[in-house]
Amino acid sequence: MELFIDPDADRSVTRQLYEQIRDAILSGRLGPGERLTPSRAVSAELGIARSTVTDAYESLAAEGYIEGRAGGGTVVAGGHGSYPRSPPPGALAPTPRSAALRRYDDDPQAEAAFDLRPGRVDPRLFPAVVWRRCVLSGLRRVSAQYGDPAGTFDLRAALSRWLASSRGITLTPEQMVVTAGTGHAIDLVARVLLSPGDVAGVEEPGYPPVRELLRSHGVDAVGVPVDEHGIVVDAIPPAARLVYVTPSHQYPLGVVLSRRRRLELLHWAGRHGAAIVEDDYDSEFRHTTRPLEPLHRLDRDGRVIYVGTFSKILSPALRMGFLAAPVTLVPAIVAVRQAIDWCPPPATQEALTGFVDGGHLGRHLRRVRAAYTPRFHRVYRELLDRLPADYRPLQTHAGLHLAVVGPDTASQDDPAHALLRHGILVASLRRSYQNPGPVTGFLVGFGALPTEQTAAAVDALATGITALTGR
């Protein structure tokens, strides 16, 4: 433990040492059994007499805070739990705008028999052996210096080739910026396109973290209703400078933005001089029909910023994603990125480049699709069969979660809370709304649910819902 001496203090040096060590023990910074630095070393480091240190240690020992250890040395004694401290008067506080933000995963450590929260992938499908190889060979190539804030040219080139073949999007590496996932990409875009007080359109219901992110910039994130064809373009506020959409698989309802709406949205953005952020977070997992053309591919006026992520394809733990922007925006985005954290992690970029260019991504995707698609069909069928009639899984074609909509009554206990009491973690549908009204429902993520456990999980879920509705 680092000890400090204030030469101007009105307390003796012995007292100062005593208080620092006692406070560290009481606050839990020094735990039971932890060894104290020998008095000889402390006296040498601080340039004080050894007896000053031993006096402090003796007082602490007399009060039971520390004790001698059989083999020599002094350790922290047990039984001094940390005490909660109330913040000092005048402690730092966030601005009202930041204080109003709410995290989406209220309890990330929550445990239950079945974790069916959306956003989870199957860790058993992570290609650990190949990834390890890519990391090791990437480490041999990586430069031990700051890198390009846009990401390495090689990774951007690899990503643009992959997007050309998988999504039919034509991009140059100069349009691409490697990011730490979707939220980070949208943060960069918001910083260069929006000012506090601006209006942005977000889907209602929608993805809460993006709403909160826009609010953190002082942007008025206005909810725009979603129907069976996707976002209702006529309802977008005319003042919106940016519209955030999930066209391939609307979060959370799962509808696909129809081709007609896609064209209307692009036309709207052209007329209003607004930007569209296309979040294509999980379209790699199409379970039934063929995907529609991405908005980016239909865009003739350079209005669309395309955002992708490796959170679903590989793992959310990698924190890797990208954006493709009109070249007019890229220099500002890159400058902002550099001002924040300079560049994406060079070693992870090298590993990912090897993974994409080595053909591993294609092979991995074939493997995970083969695992997720039967799981999707099975969970959907089980939910249809087992849930009470007034709880309906919405038809969807892609992704790793399903939305279940319940009866229109806000008076009921939120099913997500009720299900937790039955050992099941799901996300509340109400949380995806800014103004939920009487809606009830929940989101079932099946990414991390082994196929052989679907029947047991849905069984537990149906029991919980039946208990909630009293039938």
By the criterion CB under 6 A, which residues form the site for ligand PLP? 118-119, 181-183, 207, 246, 251, 279, 281, 309, 311, 316, 321
Could you identify the residue written with the tokens 């990391």?
135
Strand pairing report for 304-309 and 176-179: unpaired
- Say if residues 163 and 171 touch (Cβ distance below 8 Å): yes
E strand or H helix at 13: helix 13-26
Determine the distance from the C-alpha atom of residue 163 to the mean position of all C-alpha atoms in its chain, rounded to a whole number.
23
Question: Which two three-digit tokens encode residue 278?
Answer: 């296309």
Nearest distance from C-beta of residue 248 to ligand PLP, angstroms: 10
- Say if residues 275 and 296 touch (Cβ distance below 8 Å): no
Nearest distance from C-beta of residue 98 to ligand PLP, angstroms: 19
E strand or H helix at 183: helix 182-193
Residue whose CB is less far from ligand PLP, 279 or 382: 279
- Say if residues 376 and 386 touch (Cβ distance below 8 Å): no
Nearest distance from C-beta of residue 405 to ligand PLP, angstroms: 18
Residue whose CB is less far from ligand PLP, 264 or 279: 279
Could you identify the residue written with the tokens 């260019």?
357
Quick one: which of 320, 282, 300 has its CA closest to 185?
320
Determine the distance from the C-alpha atom of residue 445 to the mean position of all C-alpha atoms in its chain, rounded to a whole number.
15
Respond yes or no on whether the N-terminal peptide bond of residue 205 is cis (omega within 30° of 0): yes
Residue whose CB is less far from ligand PLP, 160 or 309: 309
Distance CA 30, CA 25 (A): 5
Quick one: which of 455, 447, 441 has its CA closest to 403?
441
Residue whose CB is less far from ligand PLP, 118 or 464: 118
Distance CA 220, CA 200 (A): 6
Nearest distance from C-beta of residue 178 to ligand PLP, angstroms: 12
Nearest distance from C-beta of residue 303 to ligand PLP, angstroms: 20
Residue whose CB is less far from ligand PLP, 101 or 467: 101
Nearest distance from C-beta of residue 470 to ligand PLP, angstroms: 32
Residue whose CB is less far from ligand PLP, 282 or 382: 282
Residue whose CB is less far from ligand PLP, 266 or 403: 403
Nearest distance from C-beta of residue 338 to ligand PLP, angstroms: 20
